[in-house]
Amino acid sequence: MRVVITGAAGFIGSRFAELLLAEADRLGYDDVVLLDALTYSGRRENMAAALAAGARFVHGSINDPAVVDEVVTGAHAVVHLAAESHVDRSILGARDFFTTNVLGTQQLLESARRAGVSRFVHVSTDEVYGSIAQGSWREDHVLAPNSPYSASKAGSDLAALAYHRTYGLAVMVTRCSNNYGPRQFPEKVIPLFVTNLMDGESVPLYGDGLNVRDWLHVDDHCRGILAVLEGGRPGEVYNIGGGTELTNRELTTRLLNLCGADESSVRPVEDRLGHDRRYSVDWGKIHAELGYEPRVAFETGLADTVAWYRANESWWRALKESVA
């Protein structure tokens, strides 16, 4: 059987491909197709292990009907991770986010519908819920996105669920908390701060630093996606959380300690426009239905991530300079 992974050259997509390939025989997938447009954050080298394990790569955009039709025809499943995902970039220029995240997702859904795909996992984000002062979001919480990025992801979520309700496409939606781990593009907060500190530079902390995020190791996220691919119920949404809520200042302090720096390396900057105060997902549903729970302790995962960036300067140096 064929499974198509979109966004497979990215941070999460490439790691998901590796974990799926480790389970491919058990799951019955003998044709793993990696689809990616190789935009600025998609790197061929991220797919090296997956390609060595037998996957095949198709270079193309989810907005290209011919490419999408070709890869999904005959496919049993699609795992859709391709997206524009950096909030700051969406504030500076929103059009690409709606083009890729909404229209690209609709193209993929339509091609999958026509091809008779049996399983379609649409990977989304907790940011579609907006901000929550207390408690945690359940999957039936109203969507209230506050950035162009999160609004585009909310639109893609609704499109995916509409294709299930209208056409019967077996869509499952996952919404994850903030990911971290090796190979994350160095514009995101953890690799940005780590690589800045490695270079003896300051780290830019937004506002008062008290915005709260729940942190999820990429391996745990990918295990959650895999569980939904295998056993999720069509038409359902599944939150995937990490269980570690920290203020941005608390996260910064941990990174300073791991990198041998102190508070003098922190540079307060003006807060981001529309900056959500707190995210928190209730992941009780995926735990109860599919047995998911995070395995990577945050202290261990964060230390290992910092160590990876130290050991792989050749991976991130050119990338960071390209977006400077």
Report yes or no: 65 and 37 within 8 Å, Cβ to Cβ: no
- End-to-end C-alpha distance for the chain, whole angstroms: 42
Pairing type for strands 266-269 and 119-125 reads unpaired
Options 18, 127, 157, 220, the catalytic residue:
127
Please state, in angstroms and rounded to a whole number, the distance separating the CA atoms of residues 268 and 119: 45
Tokens found for residue 164: 């299930």
Whether residue 236 lies in the annotated active site: no
Sign of CA dihedral 251, 253, 258, 264: positive
Catalytic residue among 18, 36, 126, 220: 126
Tokens for 280?
């928190």
Catalytic-role residue among 149, 163, 180, 238: 149
Non-local (6+) Cβ contacts of 263 within 8 A are 256
The DSSP code for 116 is: T
CB 61 within 8 A of CB 40: no
115 Cβ partners below 8 Å, 6+ apart? 69, 72, 73, 74, 75
Residue ranges of E strands in the chain: 2-6, 31-36, 56-59, 75-80, 119-125, 171-176, 178-180, 203-206, 212-217, 237-240, 245-247, 266-269
Judge whether 293 counts as a catalytic residue.
Answer: no
126 is catalytic: yes
Q: Which residues are known to be catalytic?
A: 126-127, 149
